[in-house]
Amino acid sequence: MTPESATANHAAGADGTARRLAFVCPRFAEGPTVGGAETLMRALAVRAARRGRDVTFFTTCARNHFTWENVLPEGERRSEGVRVRYFRVDAHRDVGAFLKVQDAISRGRLVSRAEEDLWLRNSVNSAALCEALRRDADRFDRIIAGPYLFGLVEAVSRIAPGRTLLAPCLHDEPFAYLASIREMFARVRGCLFNSDPERGLACRLQARPAAARDAVVGLGLDDFASDPRAFASRRGLAAPYIVYAGRREPLKGTPLLVDYLAAFRTRTRRDVKLVLTGSGPVDLPDALRPHVIDAGFVSERDKHDIMAGAAAFVHPSLNESLGIVILEAWLARTAALVRAASPVLRHQCRASNGGLWFRHYPDFEEMLVALLEDEALRRALAGAGRRYVLERYAWPAVEKRLLDALDA
């Protein structure tokens, strides 16, 4: 622990309120091409600003999370009461060296400290951002940085660790076991977690000290109206359907969902469709192609209508720190079906009684058949999920948890 983090308590105002906040995230969530972590960081910043805090958001000029090309202009803009400062991503990344070490880590190979440093150095970094933050660091009572898996966030955690809160969006993955990541968790003032299982994982992997100012905050949602018949009638869809919303990629489990639906249709001879919203390619067998509806990017209203009309929202991902789309599905009065191997999604379903969790295909088949056949079951699960979201993830509750954590 650094001397600063050991001694400083920079709760700024005389009343202990952390008024001046800096948020740091490699991308600022504008438009549809961002992930959950970016959405979370932006939403927390905006909410803090609405509650009277002075918020500056430090981010990069990149939008694409594969190329990290600087496409946005540098400088400063305002967005929903937040001052957003854009800085260029460092140009001299050795992507080859980065990918080589990243691949080794992903495969579970033990890497040396030198390799870890090489990996962090060639990850997404912005010397300009760090320099600006270092210059202004004394202005801020708290620096909130995340997600954990970027060289930029690791570098920021060193600037004023005693005032830094990490919003890690932590997953149980090989990167979380690295010594440099463990040191970052030990260095910072505290963490803002999205869920209890994420906090539990951090305690297990990162040996969080009891004195750490950790809190489970999460992301808030506003209630919305939705029409369960709108999507089906617009598409002329008579068969029941299940839905997945989000990025389509192996890490999110979409290939598994496609395989399961193919097996389900073959084995049960039930005409069940799959509706996908979001981005990314999806590899479909020819026989399944007519039964998968790729709605692509849709408006929030359309997404909620699609969710509302589904027999179930299926979330096949393993690594989540909070299943935001499941919360939305519950608000749309739809039951959830998730993988048992995902501690966070399973926890959400168990805590809310809003969904079921499958270990493998046989479980999936039994559960989906039960949901398709039993409307009362669907209603009961969806109703329990909705009550859980309104109670725990309504913005007033989340804002209170956020502000308490910032001021602690």
Partner 1 sequence: MHDRIFEIGAEGVDTEALVARIRARVADKTERGAYTDAAVARAERTNLAALRDDDEFMGFYLDCLRDAAFVDIGDFEILERRRTLAPLLVALKRLIWKLLKFYTYRLWSQQNQINGMLVTAVEAMETRYGERLRRLEARLNTAAPGDGNAPGHDA
Q: Which stretches of the chain bind partner 1, using CB under 8 A?
A: 250, 253, 255-256, 259-260, 262-263, 266-267, 318, 339-341, 349-350, 353-357, 359-363, 366-367, 369-370, 373-374, 376-377, 380-381, 383-384
Q: Which is nearer to partner 1, 151 or 316 (CB)?
A: 316
Is 333 in contact with 307 (CB distance < 8 Å)?
no
Q: How far is the CB of 271 from partner 1 (least distance, A)?
A: 16
H helix runs in 170-299, sequence order: 179-187, 196-206, 230-235, 254-268
343-356 burial: b if 16+ Cβ within 10 Å, else e = bbbbbbbeebebbb
User: Shortest approach of partner 1 to residue 253 CB, angstroms?
Assistant: 8
Q: Which is nearer to partner 1, 11 or 377 (CB)?
A: 377
- Closest approach, Cβ 56 to partner 1, in A, equals 41
Q: What sign results for the dihedral spanned by CA atoms 129, 134, 139, 140?
A: positive
Decide the pairing of beta strands 215-216 and 75-79.
unpaired
Nearer to partner 1, 76 or 271 (CB): 271
Q: Residue 33 or 353: which CB sits closer to partner 1?
A: 353
Sign of CA dihedral 137, 139, 141, 143: negative
Q: What is the CA radius of gyration of the chain?
A: 22
Q: What are phi and psi of 374, to 5 degrees?
A: -120, 95
Assess contact for 329 and 351: CB atoms under 8 A.
Answer: no
Give the nearer residue to partner 1 in terms of CB position, either 34 or 256.
256
Query: Which residue, 361 or 395, has its beta carbon nearer to partner 1?
Result: 361
In whole angstroms, the minimum distance from the beta carbon of 337 to partner 1 comes to: 11
CB of 367 to partner 1, least distance (A): 6
DSSP at 251: G
Order across the sheet with 190-193: list the strands.
Answer: 75-79, 82-87, 54-60, 20-24, 142-145, 164-166, 190-193, 215-216
From the CB of 244, what's the least distance to partner 1, in Å? 14
Minimum CB separation of residue 297 from partner 1 in Å reads 25
Instruction: Give 239 or 370: the residue with its C-beta nearer to partner 1.
Output: 370
> Which of 222, 220, 216 minimizes the C-alpha distance to 203?
216
The distance of closest approach from Cβ of residue 12 to partner 1 in the complex, given in angstroms and rounded to an integer, is 39
Measured from the CB atom, the residue of 121 and 346 that comes closer to partner 1 is 346
Say how far apart CA 135 and CA 117 lie, in whole Å.
Answer: 24
Contact yes or no for 27/60 (Cβ under 8 A): yes
Q: Give the whole-angstrom CA distance, residue 303 versus residue 295.
A: 9
Shortest Cβ 100–partner 1 spacing (Å): 22
The H or E element containing residue 22 is strand 20-24
Q: Which is nearer to partner 1, 67 or 106 (CB)?
A: 106
Instruction: Reply yes or no: is the peptide bond before residue 147 cis, omega within 30 of 0.
Output: yes
